[in-house]
Structure 1
Amino acid sequence: MIMIGKPVSLSFFQQSTLDLAQALIGKLLVKETEQGVSSGWIVETEAYIGPGDRAAHSYGNRRTKRTEVMFGPPGYVYTYVMHTHCLVNVVSGEVGHPEAVLIRAVEPFEGVDLMYERRGKGKRITELTSGPGKLTKALGIVKGDYGRTFMEPPLYIAEGRVCDELVSGPRIGIENSGEARDYPWRFWEKGSPFVSK
């Protein structure tokens, strides 16, 4: 396999979760499979700040088989299935502080034909990866990627492009999380047509 771009180093992930959620915008998310390589520029993320965040899976230090990877070092892959869709997160925070950043949307870069095969032919390109479940299906990211590191193939984050303007607002789909639903911990590239709807 030909590696697209150089994976970021561990030091990239060793920043606060809110900073990481913003720093991920513009980076390249790459997945290598037997069918080929597909990748996309990250254009939207959401931060989940662990035990004190009622919207986080690790709220109250909840430690389960599913959340176990979040209690380890940053830079690891946290995948889970919600409503039949696989979602992908970057583990953040220090060891023992279970935090994560959800990758919500990417702008397709390489392997677009492969993305159409996985998602269906009749879609506009802006619909291929404009949501956390859409992007994992398009890129071939699966629950089995859980526990990998984002610093080496087959699933990694590479240096990307500069994001001209970043905006923030409340996270999506967390209505039952009390005051946490209003935290402005969703970040996206202003004007990007690839952001989730």
Structure 2
Amino acid sequence: MQTSFDQVHTFLTNGSTAQIAQRLLGKCLRFQSATGILTAYIVEDEAYIGPKDQAAHAYKNHRTPKNEPLYHEAGTIYIYQMRTQLLLNLITQAKNDPQGVLIRAVQPDAGLIKFQQNRPDKSSFELTNGPGKLMQAFGIPKRLKGTHLNEGPLSLDLTQFKMPRKIEASSRIGVPNKGIWTDEPLRYFVKGNPYVSRMRKREVDLINYGWQ
């Protein structure tokens, strides 16, 4: 049975955004491209806690047409551009409570050849081990910004998932000069998974990829 938007909405409002970010690890993203279905398991993400979070786009309730999707209901897709890269965020919590989770890395599953075609010359674990990389590999367009998960080509599948053996936390990446929020341990990842960005080689689990 396919996961509905209502199920995704419930999942993304059940608990704090930090808790939700941890529960997203191992869940499956599914994208219906023009040439077929691509799926991948989330292995790394970051929580952004809204108006009090100096690193968040909604800090001090900052609201513009560019970040408007942050203020929509849980399950809304928020895509923004950083330099030449697109980044994917899933909105959590209730409407007008602008919190979300940045998807930082995924482990490809179905559609590996298409992932590789979308990122030519990027083989092995470099394929999707970063937020901009995974968007390019999936081929997810910016026009999905503001739309709902599971009501269009991009879905969160809550029935197909893997269980992390261990989840680790660290400070978020690329968040300097944001007071206490620079060091808050709001980045979560599957320990040992080779697709996690900046994973130390000596910590990589090439047998189970960090799954139970």
Question: Shorter-chain TM-score: which interval?
Answer: over 0.9
Question: Does 1:98 find its partner at 2:98?
Answer: yes
Greater shift, 20-29 or 66-75, is seen at: 66-75
Question: Does 1:192 find its partner at 2:193?
Answer: yes
Aligned to 1:7: 3
Q: Which runs of 5+ in 1 are unaligned?
A: none
Distance (whole Å) between structure 2 residues aligned to residue 151 and residue 11 of structure 1 = 13
Measured after TM superposition, the shift of residue 33 of structure 1 is 1.3
Distance (whole Å) between structure 1 residues aligned to residue 148 and residue 41 of structure 2 = 18
Root-mean-square deviation (Å): 1.2
Distance (whole Å) between structure 1 residues aligned to residue 152 and residue 190 of structure 2 = 26
Measured after TM superposition, the shift of residue 7 of structure 1 is 2.6
Measured after TM superposition, the shift of residue 72 of structure 1 is 1.4
Report if the CA contact (8 A) 2:25-2:190 is conserved: yes
Distance (whole Å) between structure 2 residues aligned to residue 132 and residue 67 of structure 1 = 18
Report the residue type matching 2:107 in the other structure: E
Measured after TM superposition, the shift of residue 175 of structure 1 is 0.8
Aligned to 2:23: 23
Measured after TM superposition, the shift of residue 115 of structure 1 is 0.8
Distance (whole Å) between structure 2 residues aligned to residue 55 and residue 108 of structure 1 = 29
Q: Deviations over 1:68-118 (max 9, x none)?
A: 111111111000110110000000122111011000000010111111111
Q: Deviations over 1:23-57 (max 9, x none)?
A: 10000011111122111100001000000000000
Aligned to 2:54: 54
Count of aligned pairs between the two proteins: 192
Q: Deviations over 1:125-183 (max 9, x none)?
A: 21110000000000111211101212334101102121121010100001132221100
Matches within 5 A, 1:20-169: 20-120=20-120, 122-159=121-158, 160-169=161-170
Measured after TM superposition, the shift of residue 67 of structure 1 is 1.2
Greater shift, 176-185 or 77-86, is seen at: 176-185
Matches within 5 A, 1:173-184: 173-184=174-185
Distance (whole Å) between structure 2 residues aligned to residue 37 and residue 92 of structure 1 = 25
Distance (whole Å) between structure 1 residues aligned to residue 93 and residue 39 of structure 2 = 25
Identity of aligned residues (%): 39
Distance (whole Å) between structure 1 residues aligned to residue 172 and residue 2 of structure 2 = 30
Distance (whole Å) between structure 1 residues aligned to residue 150 and residue 61 of structure 2 = 26
Q: TM-score, normalised by structure 2?
A: 0.87
